[in-house]
Chains A and B, each alone.
Chain A
Amino acid sequence: MAYTTFNRQINDQMKEPMFFGNPVNVSRYDQQKYGIFEKLIEKQLSFFWRPEEVDVSKDRIDYQNLPDHEKHIFISNLKYQTLLDSVQGRSPNVAFLPIVSLPELETWIETWAFSETIHSRSYTHIVRNISAEPHKVFDDIMLNEKILERAEDVTRYYDDLIDGINLYQRCGEGTHSINGETHSISLYELKRRLYLCVMSVNVLEAIRFYVSFACSFAFAERELMEGNAKIIRLIARDEALHLTGTQHMLNIMAAGDDDADMAKIAKECEEEAYAIFRKAAEQEKDWAEYLFKDGSMIGLNKDILCQYVEYITNSRMQAVGMKAIFSTTQNPIPWINTWLVSDNVQVAPQEAEISSYLVGQIDNEVDGGDFGDFDL
């Protein structure tokens, strides 16, 4: 029940559930209950990039020449993404690490959250380059009502889960009186909070980033803010992988072989899961309206962006076994896909290397025949 950083209980990790079994003791990967998480870790590591590698100096000139309503679109999206990655850089660690029971999943969570911290650092890199007063951009995040509205829904499920875990690990199941207040918690309720939290994270990574991604790529289609677009492509590549991670977690939970309670909970929470998707889609459509309040940009307007939100919402819902909720079946901005292709991602213009490129991959197999035409 109480968390320990090195559980002394000798256990068979292959028999633990993903969450709420024994805390992980030995970080071992010679055996894996779910090999997919190890594969995701390897893929994420092969994606490693640093914001400083991308030259955004031309973006400063581009930004200064943008009309005010396009400056608003650009900078508001950066602020919103900063919020999202602030949350994602810490919350998977705080919420999931105290309850995870499989070493490969534990390490995936850490690898996932770490890559989000790179995204956060890249926003500072961009803002520093385009603005002489970066502090004004970041200070506004905590004051901007449109962003704060979204923050509430992005963080609520994490906070509910973390609060429940704290109580459970300190006091156990039951009703407890703490500082004169009564709190109840059961393991089943915690599992419910976990399911909803993973669902909400899935929605965050599946939908919430994409309005902003679309705007960044629409600028770059006009050969504007291309350094930024290059960074956003790298972020989008990471996010697609994270999304696959949460989709796997949700699908394993719903199948019930890992923990029978989770399958029951997945059924019980079905309506709430639909509501989470629907609300996120509505909020993103509102966001599109806020972005374009003073005017559209070439290639994108509020209606097109709203249709795109509906289109990706449908597709993300189907990926976790849910039914589509919008009638949109066509992607209104098919050009966005070419920006999301993995192997087109380049870090520096002179380095056109494939995403799965691994440093230090040398062929160690050498036999005598290789020296056949070698004379001394």
Chain B
Amino acid sequence: MPGVKLSNGVVINFDGSARTLLDALERKQLEVNFHCREGYCGACRCKLVSGEVSYINEPLAFVRKGEFLPCCSVPVTDIEIEIP
């Protein structure tokens, strides 16, 4: 069960009950910007400080190195992220 570490030190366990990282973050009442929730608008862009995510569907939005879209991804390893 990969852990998702936030910049404030809080760790969330991604236990598979949420479909995506965005869903998992929202269940913990964390506010992440979003629009399309499908990977084509890029509104939910977050920083991936360490670890690896995999995409449920390949994002169309431009994603820089060190960034990821939580709306269409799940963690593969423990990850550390920053929500803007």
A contacts, CB < 8 Å to B: 36, 39-40, 43, 237, 240-241, 243-244, 247-248, 251, 315, 318-319, 321, 329-331, 334, 337, 340-343, 355-356
Contacts and interface: CB of A to CB of B under 8 A. Distances in A.
A244 B33 contact: no
A244 B62 contact: yes
A340 B42 contact: no
B41 A243 contact: yes
Nearest to A241: B40
A331 B64 CA distance: 23
Interface string B47-83: 0000000000010111010000000000000000000
Given A251-B62, A319-B62, A240 B37 contact: no
B43 interface: yes
Given A331-B33, A341-B35, A341-B36, 18 more contacts: A39-B58, A39-B60, A237-B36, A240-B36, A240-B40, A241-B41, A243-B41, A244-B61, A247-B42, A247-B61, A251-B62, A315-B33, A315-B43, A319-B62, A340-B36, A342-B38, A342-B40, A343-B38
Interface in B7-44: 31, 33-38, 40-43
A36 B35 contact: no
24 contacts: A39-B60, A40-B60, A43-B40, A240-B36, A241-B40, A241-B41, A243-B41, A244-B41, A244-B62, A247-B42, A247-B61, A248-B62, A251-B62, A251-B64, A315-B33, A315-B43, A331-B33, A337-B33, A337-B35, A337-B43, A340-B35, A340-B41, A342-B38, A343-B38
A15 to B, nearest CB: 23
Nearest to B36: A342
A210 to B, nearest CB: 11
Nearest to B35: A340
Contacts of B40: 43, 240-241, 244, 342
Contacts of A330: 31
A330 B31 CA distance: 9
Interface residues of B, number: 18
B60 A244 contact: yes
Nearest to A243: B41
A330 B61 CA distance: 22
A43 B62 contact: no
Contacts of A355: 38
Q: Is the interface of B mostly helix, strand, loop or mixed?
A: loop
B37 A43 contact: no
Interface of B: 31, 33-38, 40-43, 45, 58, 60-62, 64, 84
Interface centre among B38, B58, B84 (most CB of A within 10 A): B38
A340 B35 CA distance: 5
A237 B60 CA distance: 13
A240 B41 contact: yes
Contact of A319 (B36, B38, B42): B42
B31 to A, nearest CB: 7
A331 B37 CA distance: 17
Nearest to B34: A337
Interface centre among B33, B34, B35, B45 (most CB of A within 10 A): B35
Contacts of A248: 62
Nearest to A314: B84
